[in-house]
Amino acid sequence: MPAKGKHRRPKFLRLPRSIAVVGTGGAALALPLMGAVCAHAAAPAAAVPSAVQKVATVSIPGTAAEKTAAKTYVVKTGDTLVKIADRQHVSGGWKKLYADNRAVVGGDPTVIRPGLKLTIAGQGAAQPATSTATQASAAKATGPADAGYTLPVEGATIGTGYKVPGSMWSSGYHTGVDFVVPTGTTIRSVAAGTVVSAGWGGAYGNQVVIQHADGRYSQYAHMSALSVAAGQTVTEGQQVGVSGATGNVTGPHLHFEIRTTPDYGSDVDPVAYLRSYGVVVG
């Protein structure tokens, strides 16, 4: 049970969350949930600087004919081992890439510096460059299933779920999940990564965005205080701040998102994401 008094839903009928989330007759049924905690009326996009550019190039021109030869890859800003392994179709995925380059990467696979030269092992000719199916399964295999992931807050229930529709959100739906926690609760990074922004995020209040090894970003919003700074690396479970009610909210909670970029509008289902790493939410 979400802690009642922490949500302000005075004039709306409270419906089971499952109806709002999965109901196909959705819009009308879900409207009463508009009074939910998280009210991002203003688009916070401008407040979230795009600190990371997504570039991936190969220093040696690669063609299908050259696929069997080992090559050198120069790390660009915004790269991760997962992204590189994905785009270069490294068989064995990021783990193989990391194993082959551990000497230059060092002890933390989530931290690679621009300019670093990685060796990409030659691949068998049996792997055609044009096979979409092969690439898709290869991309899937890069999912670091044994990478350490954890909940951003312990033992909290979800107040407002992902994709719950509502007019107070600029996107028309809730772009994350709200964990019901009182102000002052420790908020932790769900996995190791690099802080790409930490500061005021407009409607999101005090927020932190962290890039992870798989190329995804986690966002922690409405905090009362921050414990990390942009550029800093964090470990799984490391404190990034304490919860609060800053920004556009009606009560204290943690708004948590998973994104494909550092920016608002690239959200994916955070519960499904955590579950894919073995972390069950609520």
| Binding stretches for Zn ion (CB under 5 A) | 38, 178, 255
Query: How near is the Cβ of 162 to Zn ion at its closest, in Å?
Result: 9
Determine the Cα–Cα distance for residues 122 and 125; give it in Å rounded to an integer.
9
Query: How near is the Cβ of 133 to Zn ion at its closest, in Å?
Result: 37
Beta strand spans in the chain (E): 71-74, 117-120, 177-179, 186-188, 193-200, 206-211, 217-223, 225-226, 233-234, 239-242, 254-259, 267-268
Residue nearer to Zn ion on the CB measure, 3 or 116: 3
Residue nearer to Zn ion on the CB measure, 82 or 164: 164
Residue nearer to Zn ion on the CB measure, 255 or 259: 255
Query: How near is the Cβ of 143 to Zn ion at its closest, in Å?
Result: 26
Query: How near is the Cβ of 161 to Zn ion at its closest, in Å?
Result: 10
Residue 156 CA, chain-centre distance (Å), reads 19
Q: Looking up tokens 């419906």, which residue turns up?
A: 15
Q: Looking up tokens 């196909």, which residue turns up?
A: 24
Residue nearer to Zn ion on the CB measure, 93 or 251: 251
Rg (Cα) of the chain, in Å, rounded? 21
Residue nearer to Zn ion on the CB measure, 85 or 209: 209
Residue nearer to Zn ion on the CB measure, 138 or 249: 249
Query: How near is the Cβ of 40 to Zn ion at its closest, in Å?
Result: 7
Q: Which of 251, 255, 264 is nearest to 6 (CA)?
A: 251
Determine the Cα–Cα distance for residues 52 and 49; give it in Å rounded to an integer.
9
Name residues whose C-beta falls within 8 Å of residue 144's C-beta, 6 or more positions apart in sequence.
82, 93, 94, 95, 213, 214
Determine the Cα–Cα distance for residues 75 and 55; give it in Å rounded to an integer.
9
Q: What is the DSSP string of 146-179?
A: TS-B--SSSSPPBSS-TT-B-TTSTTSB--SEEE
Query: How near is the Cβ of 102 to Zn ion at its closest, in Å?
Result: 39
Query: How near is the Cβ of 126 to Zn ion at its closest, in Å?
Result: 47
Cβ-closest position to Zn ion: 38
Residue nearer to Zn ion on the CB measure, 38 or 192: 38
Residue nearer to Zn ion on the CB measure, 89 or 174: 174
Query: How near is the Cβ of 29 to Zn ion at its closest, in Å?
Result: 20
Q: Which of 258, 222, 265, 268 is nearest to 241 (CA)?
A: 222
Q: How far is CA 236 from CA 62, 188, 194, 273, in A?
A: 36, 8, 11, 15
